[in-house]
Homo-oligomer: A and B are copies of this chain.
């Protein structure tokens, strides 16, 4: 029932209803996560698989024999092909006659688009990426429960980190520990490549981890999330190993206050950019002006960076109850270091529920 509701919701976001929406997975990593949104499958690869959604909420999936076992766990109508011929047959009989086909232009490779167009020479194609994104922005009860579980796993691991840091340990070793602890605590895998950076490497927001060894006085920054049944969490904490300098404390307090400013700004009815404006204005009114160089946050769900909205200067999407986003201000000083604090929040009727709860107060280890 939940999937029928999701599919109807996607169609309801379209001005002109197509006869069907087709989701086409290519090879890893070009797998459209909407495939999982509409089928509920939470294991398996599904390369090359196709889902055809109907306005009634029904969904057909075409999958290779190789994944037949895994696919049986879905409520979708299964069509199993053994070879290219059988795959073509399904396409020809079921999809080619459709006049109007919706495709997720953001989630399909241009090559697959061309192939579908060749197979359906009389069809018109419309981009339904925004209809998917809009539907997925507001999470349903099952999704919120699952995301909360992903948050709680990451949280638990974040709290363990201070105990495993010691002088001389490599960045990559802590990344390995984090991933291990998440999996041991129930994560299917890491939500994304874990960031474990020390010292001046913390000034690179997308640095992952390397051979640097921890020394006293270093910033340490950990940005990671758990993936649990395909849903993600995403959180960041920054600590100082040893005694912090005044500069480090100032940076930290500024980021923390900026994040609080963000939390306070969030409520249903305002536009997403309002949150970023509040946070970036806060930082730009300090001596760290210009040092906050990314957006304030992004939706989290089946994708770590869910589409459709974001706390950035350009996003006019209205915030609604049951959206889940990150709030992650940061200050970066190349050659010195960076601080970022990130939590996942659920928008409630009257404000925010913070889903990642590991302490944010300043920590010297």
Chain A interface residues (CB < 8 Å from chain B): 26-31, 43-45, 65-67, 69-70, 103, 105-114, 127, 129, 172-173, 175-177, 179-180, 183-184, 186, 188-190, 192-193, 203-210, 293-294, 303-305, 307, 334
Contacts and interface: CB of A to CB of B under 8 A. Distances in A.
20 contacts: A28-B305, A29-B30, A29-B31, A30-B106, A43-B210, A45-B206, A69-B204, A70-B204, A105-B111, A106-B111, A108-B109, A108-B110, A109-B109, A111-B127, A173-B184, A175-B183, A176-B179, A179-B179, A180-B183, A188-B208
Contacts of A129: 111
In terms of DSSP, what is the predominant structure of the interface of chain A?
A: loop
| Shortest beta-carbon contacts, A-B, top 7 | A176-B183, A29-B29, A180-B180, A105-B111, A110-B113, A69-B204, A105-B110
A107 B109 contact: yes
B206 A67 contact: yes
A25 to B, nearest CB: 11
A327 to B, nearest CB: 18
Contacts of A192: 28
A66 B207 CA distance: 10
B66 A205 contact: yes
Contacts of A111: 105-106, 127, 129
Contacts of A190: 189
Contact of A208 (B43, B113, B127, B173): B43
Given A44-B208, A67-B204, A103-B110, 9 more contacts: A27-B305, A29-B30, A30-B30, A66-B205, A66-B294, A113-B113, A172-B183, A179-B179, A179-B180
A34 B281 CA distance: 38
Contacts of A26: 106
Pick from A172, A175, A183, A205 the residue with the most CB of B within 10 Å.
Answer: A183
Pick from A30, A65, A203 the residue with the most CB of B within 10 Å.
Answer: A30
A176 B210 CA distance: 20
A206 B66 contact: yes
A66 B176 contact: no
Contacts of A205: 66
